[in-house]
Structure 1
Amino acid sequence: MSVKSFFAKIFANVVVMQQQKWMINPVVTQENLFHSLVQQAKQTQFGKDHLFLAIKSHTDFVKYVPVRDYEALKPYVDKVVAGEKDVLWKGKPLYFAKTSGTTSGAKYIPITKESMPYHVQGARNAILFYIQETGNADFVDGKMIFLQGSPEMDVKNGVKVGRLSGIAAHYVPKYLQKNRLPSWETNCIDDWETKVDAVVQETKDQNMSVISGIPSWVQMYFDRLIQVSGQKVGDLFKNFNLFIYGGVNYEPYRKKFEQLIGRKVDSIELYPASEGFFAYQDSQKAKGMLLLLNAGIFYEFIKADEFFTENPKRYTIGEVALNVNYVMIISTNAGLWAYNIGDTVMFTSLKPYRIVVTGRIKHYISAFGEHVIGKEVEEAMQQALNETDAMVTEFTVAPQINPDNGLPYHEWLVEFEKEPTNLEDFALKIDAALRNQNVYYDDLIVGSILRTLVITKVPAGGFNEYMKSQGKLGGQNKLPRLANDRKIADFIHELK
C-alpha cells in the first residue's frame, strides 16, 4: 500500500463520518437549510418581490413562490447577466454555467461563492464513500481522466462564463493535478472528435486507473483507443478498475463497456448539473444515489402524474414515498427558487434518502395516453439485452402515429454493436418488458390501439451525426432517450 492510498483511506473514513451527521437527521437538515436560504435572500430583488420577510414556513413559501422553469425565471436571470447585484442571491455570482436547449437559446445558470464548493465536494465525496466501503484506494496512484468540456471561459459583465465541467476543471485539488489527464491544452480543444483523438494519444501509454465521463462519449473514447492500440481497454490499462459517470443511465451501455474493456470494473454514478450537485452513489450494494440534503439545496417534489394539473401539491423530503415518480424542484444558494430543472426521480430508499433518475418531465411518449418514461424504456432494453447476446451502442424511441399501413406503434431506433440473432424476438422481449412496467401501454396493445413496437436499425455513427447536426457532439450533451415527436427519427431515416 502506498502512502497516498493509506492517507486516502483515513481521509475517506473522516469524511464519511462527517456526512453521516446530517444523514441521520435529514428532515431537520432540510428545514434548517430552508430557513437559512430564505433569510440570506430576503433583501434581494427576488426576495422582496416574493415577500421573503413574511415566509416563516414551507406553507408560506408555497403561497408566495410559484414553481418556475428557466423561461419563467429568465427576467430575473437577465438582470443578473446584465451585471445587476442582489437580484436572485446576494451580490453577484462567481460564474455563469452556460447550457443550451431552451426556446430562448442559451441558458445562464448562476454559480455563487456559496454554491461552488458543493459542486467540487460532491464528486470528491462519492469517491471517498467508495474507498470507505470497499477498502480499494490503489487507484489514487494511477492516472485519472475526466472527459469534459473546455475549461476556457468568457467574461460577461464581470462574471466568468463557461460549461460546468470546464468550470469544475479549475477546482481539481492540487494532490490530483499530477495524476490528472488530459492536459490543459487538449482539454481546451472545442471540436469533440479532434479532442478525443488527442486524448487517445495522451493516454494510450499511461497508467490509467480511473476514467470518468458520460457513457456515450467515453464509449467513443474506448472505440478510438482500441482502433489505435489493437488492444482491449482493460489490457491497455491493466490498473483501470473504476469508472465514474453521470448524465445517463449506465445499464444499457454496461454490456458493451465490459466487452470493450474485456472485464468488469467498479462504477460510481454521479448526479451533477449546472444548477447543483444533487446526488451520488454512496454504496456499491444499495440501489440509487444518496440525495445530498446538506449541499445548499432545498428540495420539493411534485408527483409527475399531477405536475400539469392546477396547483399540484409540493412535497418536502419528509413527505415523499418510495417508488413514486416525482418532478424535482429546487431552491438553492445560487438563487434558483422553486426551480423546475425538468428531471423526474424516484426514491429507492428513505433511510437514507436515495434516488434514481427516471427521465425528463418533457421527455416521454404519450401520443395515445401511455406516458412512457425514460426509466421504463431503459429497463425494458436492459432486460432484453440480459436475455440475449445483443449489444447496443445507443438508442432512442419515438411514436409513429401515421404509419403507411397497420396500427400505430412505438419505433425504437437502435444502433447495435452486435445485432441479436432474431430481431423480431428481441423486439418482443422489449415489448413484453415495457408492457409489464406500464399498464397504459399494455392496455393500448391489448385494445388494438397500438401494435407491438418496431425496431429500426441505425447505421453506425448515425446518432453521432444527429448530435453533430445539432451542435451537441460530445461534452456533457446527451441524446434524448425518447420524445413525443419524430425529430430524431426523421433525421435518422434520411441517413438511410
Structure 2
Amino acid sequence: MGIKSLLSKPLAAYVAWQQKKWSLAPEKSQDEVFASLIAGAKNTAFGKDHHFDQINTYEDFKKHVPIRDYEDLKPYIDRVVAGESDILWKGKPTYFAKTSGTTSGAKYIPITRDSIPNHINSARNAMLSYIHETGKSEFLDKKLIFLSGSPKLDKKNGILTGRLSGISNHFVPAYLRTNQMPSYETNCIEDWEDKLDHIIDETLKEPMSLISGIPPWVQMYFDRIQERTGKQIKDVFPEFELFIYGGVNFKPYEKKLFESIGKRVDTIETYPASEGFIAFQDSQKDEGLLMQLKSGIFFEFVPAEEFFDENPTRLSIHDIEVGKNYALIINSNAGLWGYSIGDTVKFVSKYPHKLVVSGRIKHFISASGEHVIGEEVEKALRYGMSKHPETEVLEFSVAPQVSPAEGLPHHEWLIAFEQEPNDIEQFAKDIDSKLCELNSYYEDLIQGNINCTLKITSLQKDAFQQYMKSIGKLGGQNKVPRLSNDRKIADAIVQWKK
C-alpha cells in the first residue's frame, strides 16, 4: 500500500464522522447555513434591495425574496460581470462558470472564495466516503483520469472564466496531480474528437484505476479504445476499479458501459452543478445521494406540480416528504438567491436526507396536457428493456408529434440502439403501457383516442454524437435533453435516421 492510500484512511474516517454528525441533524445544519448567508449578504446590493436586515426567519425570507431563474437574476449578475463589488455576495467572485444559456446566450454563474469549498470538498468527500465504507484506497496510488472541459480560463473584466469542470481541474489536490491524466496540454484541446485521440495516446499503457466523467463521453472513450485495440477495457486497464460519474441518469448507459468494460466495477454517483455541488452517493449499499446540507447552500423545495403556479408552496428541509417530486431552489454563498436550477429531486430517505434526481422542470412533454416527466420516461424505458433483454440503448430523446402526416398525435421516441429489440413494435407497446401506468393523464389521452401510442424512430448509433458535433457541443459536460416539449431537437436529429 502506497503513502497516498495509507494516509487517505484516517482522513476518510474523519470526514465520515463529520458527515454523520451534521446529516443526522439536518434542520440544525440548514438553519445555521441560512443565518450565515443572510448575515454575509446583508450589506450587498441584493441584500439591501430585499431587506435582509429585516429577515430573521425563513418565513421572513419568503416574503422578501421571490423564486428566480437566471433570466430574472440577470440584472444583478450583469453588474457582477461588469466588475462591480458587493452585488450578490460580498466582494467579487473568484470565477465565473460559463454555461450554455437560453434567451440571453451564455450564462455566467459566480463562484466566490466562500463557495469554492462546496465544489471542491464535496467532490473530495465523495471519494473519501467510498474509501471509508469499502476500505479500498489503493486506486489512489495508480493513474486517475478526469474527462473534463478545458482548464484553460479566459477573463471577464478581470475574473477568471471557464467551464465548471475546467475550473475544478485547477483544484485537484497536489498529492493527486502526479497521478492525474490526461496532461494539462491535452486537456486544453478544444476539439473533443482530437482531444479524445490524444487522451487515448497518453492513457493506453498506463495503470488506470479510476475513471471519472459523464457516461456518454466515457462510453465514447471506451469505444475508441476498443476500436484501436480490439480488447475490452478490463484487458486494457486491468487495474480499473472505480467509475465516478454525474450529470445524467446512469441507468440507460449502465448495460453498455459494463459490457465495454467486461466486468462490473464500483461506481460513485455525484450531483454537481455550476450553481453548487448538491449531493453525492456516500454508500455503495443504496442509490440515494447524500444532500450537502452543511456546505454553504440553503435549499428550498417547491412541489413540482406547483412550480408554475403564481404563488407556489416553498418548503425548507424541515418539511419535505419522502417520495415526492420537488423543484430544487438554492440560496448560496456564491450569491444565488431563490434560484431555480431547473432540476426536480425526490427524497428516498430522511436522517440522513438522501435524494435522487427525478428530472428537469423544463424538460417535460405536455403538448396535450399529459405533463410527462423525465423520471417516468426513464422508468418506462427500463421496463421495456427488461421485457426485451437483448436491447441495448445508447441514447434517446422524446418529443411530441402533434401534427403527424397521418393518424393521431403521439410521442416520438428517437433512439440510437447498440442492439435493437427483436420486436420493436412490441417494445414500443411495452414502454407505452408502463407510461400509462406511471402517468394517468397520459393514459387518459390514449384511452380517449386523443393521442395514439408512442412511436419509435431508430437512429444511427452515432446520431446523438453527430447532432452534438453539428451544434458545436461534442464532449465535455454537454448533454442532449431526454425530453422536449417542442420538436427543435427531434427535427434536427432525425436526419440521422436509420
Scaled to the shorter chain, the TM-score interval is over 0.9
Give 1:442 deviation, angstroms. Answer: 1.6
Partner of 2:159: 159
Measure, in 2, the Cα distance between the counterparts of 1:7 and 1:384.
46
Q: Which amino acid in 2 is paired with 1:417? A: E
Measure, in 2, the Cα distance between the counterparts of 1:296 and 1:59.
20
Partner of 2:19: 19
Q: Which amino acid in 1 is paired with 2:126? A: A
Q: Which moved more, 1:460-469 or 1:144-153?
A: 460-469
Measure, in 2, the Cα distance between the counterparts of 1:360 and 1:111.
23
SS at match of 1:176: helix
Partner of 1:208: 208
Question: What CA deviation, in whole Å up to 9, does each residue of 1:404-435 have, x standing for no partner?
Answer: 11121111100001111111121122112222
Partner of 2:325: 325
Q: Is 1:430 aligned with 2:431? A: yes
SS at match of 1:101: coil
Partner of 2:90: 90
Question: What CA deviation, in whole Å up to 9, does each residue of 1:93-128 have, x standing for no partner?
Answer: 100011113210010000000000110111110111
SS at match of 1:102: coil
SS at match of 1:171: coil
Matches within 5 A, 1:403-482: 403-482=404-483
Q: Which amino acid in 2 is paired with 1:402? A: S
SS at match of 1:267: strand
Q: Which amino acid in 2 is paired with 1:373? A: I
Partner of 1:171: 171
For the 8 Å contact 2:414–2:494, the answer to whether it is kept is no
Measure, in 2, the Cα distance between the counterparts of 1:94 and 1:4.
30
Measure, in 1, the Cα distance between the counterparts of 2:3 and 2:470.
49
Partner of 2:51: 51
For the 8 Å contact 2:144–2:209, the answer to whether it is kept is yes
Measure, in 2, the Cα distance between the counterparts of 1:399 and 1:218.
30
Q: Is 1:261 aligned with 2:261? A: yes
Measure, in 2, the Cα distance between the counterparts of 1:360 and 1:334.
22
For the 8 Å contact 1:97–1:108, the answer to whether it is kept is yes
Give 1:14 deviation, angstroms. Answer: 1.3
Measure, in 2, the Cα distance between the counterparts of 1:156 and 1:4.
37
Partner of 1:65: 65
Give 1:137 deviation, angstroms. Answer: 1.5
Matches within 5 A, 1:4-403: 4-387=4-387, 388-403=389-404
Q: Which amino acid in 1 is paired with 2:204? A: K
Measure, in 2, the Cα distance between the counterparts of 1:186 and 1:366.
43
SS at match of 2:167: helix
Q: Which runs of 5+ in 2 are unaligned?
A: none
Question: What CA deviation, in whole Å up to 9, does each residue of 1:357-391 have, x standing for no partner?
Answer: 11111110011111111111112112222332111
Q: Which moved more, 1:138-147 or 1:431-440?
A: 431-440
Alignment coverage as a number of residue pairs = 496
Measure, in 2, the Cα distance between the counterparts of 1:437 and 1:125.
35
For the 8 Å contact 2:330–2:337, the answer to whether it is kept is yes
For the 8 Å contact 2:244–2:267, the answer to whether it is kept is yes
SS at match of 1:98: strand
Q: Which amino acid in 2 is paired with 1:131? A: I
For the 8 Å contact 2:4–2:175, the answer to whether it is kept is no
Measure, in 1, the Cα distance between the counterparts of 2:381 and 2:6.
41
Q: Which amino acid in 1 is paired with 2:201? A: Q
TM-score normalized by structure 2?
Answer: 0.98
Measure, in 2, the Cα distance between the counterparts of 1:94 and 1:472.
26
Q: Which moved more, 1:448-457 or 1:475-484?
A: 448-457
Give 1:2 deviation, angstroms. Answer: 3.6
TM-score normalized by structure 1?
Answer: 0.98
Distance 1:350 1:343, change over 3 A: same
Measure, in 2, the Cα distance between the counterparts of 1:106 and 1:306.
28
Give 1:494 deviation, angstroms. Answer: 2.9
For the 8 Å contact 2:118–2:296, the answer to whether it is kept is yes
Q: Which moved more, 1:376-385 or 1:407-416?
A: 376-385
For the 8 Å contact 1:5–1:140, the answer to whether it is kept is yes
SS at match of 1:294: coil
Give 1:171 deviation, angstroms. Answer: 0.5
SS at match of 2:100: strand
Give 1:4 deviation, angstroms. Answer: 2.9
Measure, in 1, the Cα distance between the counterparts of 2:129 and 2:438.
32
Identity, in percent, stands at 58
Q: Which amino acid in 1 is paired with 2:471? A: Q
Give 1:333 deviation, angstroms. Answer: 0.2
Give 1:279 deviation, angstroms. Answer: 0.3
Measure, in 2, the Cα distance between the counterparts of 1:396 and 1:283.
30
Measure, in 2, the Cα distance between the counterparts of 1:230 and 1:486.
38
Measure, in 2, the Cα distance between the counterparts of 1:460 and 1:399.
22
Measure, in 1, the Cα distance between the counterparts of 2:26 and 2:89.
25
For the 8 Å contact 1:204–1:229, the answer to whether it is kept is no
Q: Which moved more, 1:91-100 or 1:372-381?
A: 372-381
Partner of 2:491: 490
For the 8 Å contact 1:144–1:181, the answer to whether it is kept is yes
Measure, in 1, the Cα distance between the counterparts of 2:413 and 2:35.
47
For the 8 Å contact 2:380–2:431, the answer to whether it is kept is yes
SS at match of 2:76: helix
Q: Which moved more, 1:383-392 or 1:359-368?
A: 383-392
For the 8 Å contact 2:304–2:326, the answer to whether it is kept is yes
Q: Which amino acid in 1 is paired with 2:483? A: L
Q: Which amino acid in 1 is paired with 2:427? A: F
Measure, in 2, the Cα distance between the counterparts of 1:90 and 1:116.
14
For the 8 Å contact 2:26–2:351, the answer to whether it is kept is no
SS at match of 2:101: strand
For the 8 Å contact 1:89–1:333, the answer to whether it is kept is yes
Measure, in 1, the Cα distance between the counterparts of 2:202 and 2:208.
11
For the 8 Å contact 2:100–2:107, the answer to whether it is kept is yes
Measure, in 2, the Cα distance between the counterparts of 1:432 and 1:351.
36
For the 8 Å contact 2:149–2:163, the answer to whether it is kept is yes
Measure, in 1, the Cα distance between the counterparts of 2:419 and 2:59.
54
